[in-house]
Structure 1
Amino acid sequence: MENKKVWFITGASKGFGLLLAKQVLNEGHIVAATSRNVDELVEAIGPKSDRFLPLQMNLTTEDCVGEAINITYKTFGRFDVVVNNAGYGIAGSIEELTDEETRSNFDVNVFGTLNVIRSVMPYLRKQQSGHIINISSIAGIAPGCGFAIYAATKYSVIGLSDVLAQDVKEFGINVTVVAPGAFRTSFLNSESLAVAKRPIAEYQQVRNVQTKYLQMDGKQVGDPQKAIEAIIEVSEQENPPLYLLLGNDAYDRAMSKLDYLEKEFRLNEELTRSMAYQG
């Protein structure tokens, strides 16, 4: 176990999660990987071994998450890097998406992440070490038309990560929230990007944006291998950043959002500052 880190990666049967699990294993580390379908994990990565533990896990069920965390600890005795990668996108306006569709996206993207954090924190606190890496999206910083619910889940991941970093700093635990742009993974196919089941004809702009993104599948400029190598690099830093933007598009969108926010905040600065009692 010397010099080998134990990684716990959710959503590891495809996309970033799969590439990350394979790369970490190739570098000689230890991986516990989760998926809704353990057979897919075994097929994609390989059978259980002394360095690889495939786990079937329902991310939205706290007891199931806790069991996977407990099995990992009993198997490897520690956690060094915990990656909350599992999630999916959903396209549609707020009016078009049902309560069930909306809650389902929050259940996986937000509450699933919270389930993992709650379950693993007792072990990390006891160790007084560890690194939690939460995969958000540039949509959680600078969202676009037609993705309100998805953006809301990723805003939530950014917000909880920001405060989590402050809360766990005294235990020697680091937190990084990753905001990727468009990368050539399976994210834009039907398995990873849901669309509103009851579209409303009047939302033409939303449909146009949705079509644009679906047509981008397989043509994204971002190289996912470079993205996971960046995540691994950050995991090895003594003082890793809280925020990690990935891709030119992510960086440009984030900086444009900063400019936009400054203009918006200053627009009514006098009114904003006039709230104190007088006299």
Structure 2
Amino acid sequence: MRDQSAPVGPVFPVPYLPTLGPVHPAAVTAGLWEQVLANNGTGRFLAHDPASRWGGTKNELVLHEDAAPDGRSAGVAVLCRRRRAVTVYHYAAEIDSEREREAAAKLAADHGAESARLLWLTPKAPPVQGQCRRIWMKTLSGSEPPPAEQVQPLNTLPPALRATWPDFADATAGEGFAALEARRRNGPLDGPLLVVTVSGRIAGAIGPMAVLPDPVGRRRLLPQYFAVLPGHRGQGLGRALWRAAMAWGAQAGADYQLLQTELGGASDRLCEDEALQVIGFATAI
């Protein structure tokens, strides 16, 4: 178990905290982790938790944490009560993946969970041992280029164009838009959806767009769903949507955004082209 007097900084060398996900590097403080633990098990969201935008209750419970005395490695086990799944967040330069997976599986069984996974957090790209996501930070400023004319908020489209949205949402269910559309039907989202249209139909979208203060008072542009229909990829639509989202964030007073992209994927290449800062890697093994 955690030594209450131990500093938190070395335990989380990657700015990715269990139950919160990626956070601004300057926000990884002892006070933040104490907030997480003090709130643990209450079902409430911390005011700066990005997941709070969807309402409901906090379903993640920190089970325990272990850290090496020198702070060079740490593990934090979290139970998602809704999905009955355990995730062990492992911070270290190296990992015995077979041993750690077995330990995670045992922990899941001990807590009646149906599945377990190991998430390995590293400052540098690890050897390929699983599904790796790169964590990026985009710093926003007043110099963000204005959105392309082809990008418009969904709710400002003419009715005939807006009527193609459900078909787009169904076609991009794998990117989360079908679930988002179900939320939209049940009530307003916390911000607009930005879309591009081609030949009278919606071909790409990003959103919803919203800003939330982070643990140290910076304004964070929250993560968005982002997709372009397969038949329209490679035409610059994704880049136009991305830049429109960043322009929206800057105009709304956001200071930065954090993103996760599949290593080597289209979004990963876009972030690299746009010169975002890499702040870590998360590998599911």
User: Structure 1-normalised TM-score?
Assistant: 0.26
More helix by share: 1
Higher RCO, 1 vs 2 (CA within 8 Å, ≥6 residues apart):
2
User: Structure 2-normalised TM-score?
Assistant: 0.26
More strand by share: 2
